[in-house]
Structure 1
């Protein structure tokens, strides 16, 4: 199996029992505005309560006009990390990488290495490919072996009054307005969604999970 080394670009940590949410918009200097910039990470129980869904959003602040030409970076690997024994080291990973209009998903499976470097696990028993949904079209979802996946542009789900936040940090305001102004309204992100049976995750019922974007080196 060919080994490909990736360098971590950004990471967001969450802890999931049923729901974990983390967000990071436009404030990671190394990748801000780039194709590997993670804006949101979600992990939650699926509509089927026997499943768990993992969502990574990248490339924030895409206007609808820009989304039509936006695409996933083929040199970027999106990796969902899952720690099942509480030692903050990934025991399982789910990898997603784009090629020629498709998003290829590998895992959940045991990684060959942990930490900053990753090898694409193309020989994983659990894998599928899904067409990347074009902007403005109905979601294309692919299923295989109990795993479901989607990839494509979606409306940014994160609500934040970013200007008011800046005023609070700057000392010119002390609280948020009610209601506030959604800074991200009308903007889109590129989303990767993978839903898997909980039986593929295992563990004690509580997991630590985080997502990384890693650029090919």
Structure 2
């Protein structure tokens, strides 16, 4: 699930639907940061990237704020990596060929060929694009049943939803020198229309913000009938406009309180109806310390929570592909780490990512068919 099908517009335009975003220090090349954007839920190996989209990574240096509610705030300086694709050439029969290019913050244009395992290199960037095994792990039906029933519905073991499905993977490995002297950065991925006038279709920072924290309507007493996710997708993740901010906050205050109550204990007391993590969630970007080494598990949310509590962080933060971060997600929001780990019953992908470029596993040649309503 993660960010798969995160609203009506994503359902209607699946080619622009970002399923997951990852950011972590390279485990094989120190001094490099890996950025991954997966798109197109239930992709087939015959699917190409859209020539009508810009696939964009945005990176901003972060500073520590005085306000503990949003411990890390983005600066104005931005480093942008834009990937675009040619129309696919399908003249060779069943297979296709497609070319792409990534423009670096310095203006270098790095060409590459889709499905080239070695990728393209230049300007401090290495890039791969092509169908890959969907690495996201979650017992999604059990998570949805939890929301529907108000009781934890996870089992041990659980099952990865439609295990073996594919996505279109876009992998950038960038020299951290491209980010100037920044050490702590925020990372967002976006899909936008390509042309003179760019319209943001989707943007993703942290996983499951839209589907599990903004999606459920029934607990929100202010905007119970409002599908809020398309509005949220159109926002600049580094700077929310005022227009819908009240609606996002009302939804998060209600839904975060729901998650907190699942263990029949209040670990995050509301302050006048405001949940203590609402502003942290709305600061919706992966937080990465590019000076720290790669760590497989335990880095997700570590920097944000450490900074919030006035402690020095110990990990690179961000999100590694093999990290079973949904257990961190559930544990943080349900018991604030004051109780046992809340597990969803699945701990690893059946095809884990490798420690070498392009990291994501090769695609399933015969992926399961998506549910009919998708």
TM-score by length of 1: 0.73
Residue 30 (1) aligns with residue 5 (2): no
- What is the rounded CA distance, in whole Å, between the counterparts of 1:145 and 1:77 in structure 2? 19
Q: Is the 8 A contact 2:127 2:170 kept in 1?
A: yes
Cα distance change on mapping 1:163 and 1:69 into 2, 3 Å: same
Partner of 1:40: 20
- What is the rounded CA distance, in whole Å, between the counterparts of 2:148 and 2:129 in structure 1? 38
CA deviations over 1:15-69 (Å, ceiling 9, x no partner)? xxxxxxx94112222122521000000111012111001100000122xxxx132
SS at match of 1:25: coil
Partner of 1:59: 40
What number of residue pairs does the alignment pair up? 173
Structure 2 residues not aligned, in runs of 5+: 63-72, 88-97, 198-374
Q: Deviation at 1:211?
A: 0.7
- What is the rounded CA distance, in whole Å, between the counterparts of 2:171 and 2:39 in structure 1? 12
- What is the rounded CA distance, in whole Å, between the counterparts of 1:89 and 1:183 in structure 2? 39
The worse-fitting range, judged by mean Cα deviation, of 141-150 and 47-56 is 141-150
Aligned ranges 1:64-103 → 2 under 5 Å = 67-85=44-62, 86-87=73-74, 89=76, 91-100=78-87, 101-103=98-100
User: For 2:157, which of 153, 162, 179 is the aligned residue?
Assistant: 179
Q: Is the 8 A contact 1:81 1:93 kept in 2?
A: yes
Q: Is the 8 A contact 1:131 1:140 kept in 2?
A: no
Which has a greater percent of helix?
A: 2
- What is the rounded CA distance, in whole Å, between the counterparts of 1:186 and 1:55 in structure 2? 19
Cα distance change on mapping 1:89 and 1:158 into 2, 3 Å: farther
Partner of 1:106: 103
Structure 1 residues not aligned, in runs of 5+: 1-21, 110-123
Which has a greater percent of strand?
A: 1
